[in-house]
Structure 1
Amino acid sequence: MTDDESHKSLHIFGTDVSMIPCFRSSFLYGISGGIVGGLLTFLRTSRPLLSCHYGMGTFTVTTLGYWSWCRYNWSKKSIQYQQLQSALQKQAAFEGTALEDEMNAKAGLKSA
């Protein structure tokens, strides 16, 4: 059995949600937060409808809040990886040339 056969995924509107960064963790934190928020509200007020509203509100706020924070950090890391990859490609292209010595001199690095 290969990895493709053992990988089970959920498709919503033709999109595999397991491939979306931060999707799984956002919903897990949201569901946990909603359950805790609803239970605490029920324990405090003993009103089931109010606790359902608080649970759903807590789920929504937690999911959207964590999704935003996670995607911001993911985007920031993605940009940093792209910049690093570009710098490494430039360094590899200039390695052993006079331009490398000039760039090292500007940066204050010693040439090897």
Structure 2
Amino acid sequence: MTNDKMMPDIEWLREAHHLDVIGIESAIDCDHTIQSLAPLAGLQSLRAFLGVSTRLAETSLMPLAECPKLEFLDIARYAPRFEFEQLRRARPDIFWRWFDPKAWGKATLKAIG
């Protein structure tokens, strides 16, 4: 789903146990905020959640720990670092590039040539 201004929350996903992958993204010219990831908690088939350009109003990531088959996240750092660390401790089997502590270091540009 991209740039859905008519979707104030994701409550309707609470019983979507048939979903393998869900992607909720904003468009370049529009910010989209999800109120909470709580409706995703416990989704039985969810293997991947994508939300790189979507923000969270409630920054808890722990509802994702309750998705037994979740194995891949592609989300931005839109929650405090301790939220990601807590999720990593609870679910070390989930792949997410920001779980690497080096990814939180100061960004630098490398010279070419």
For the pair shown, the structure with the greater C-alpha radius of gyration is: 1
TM-score (norm 1): 0.22
More strand by share: 2
Task: Using structure 2 for the length normalisation, give the TM-score.
Answer: 0.22
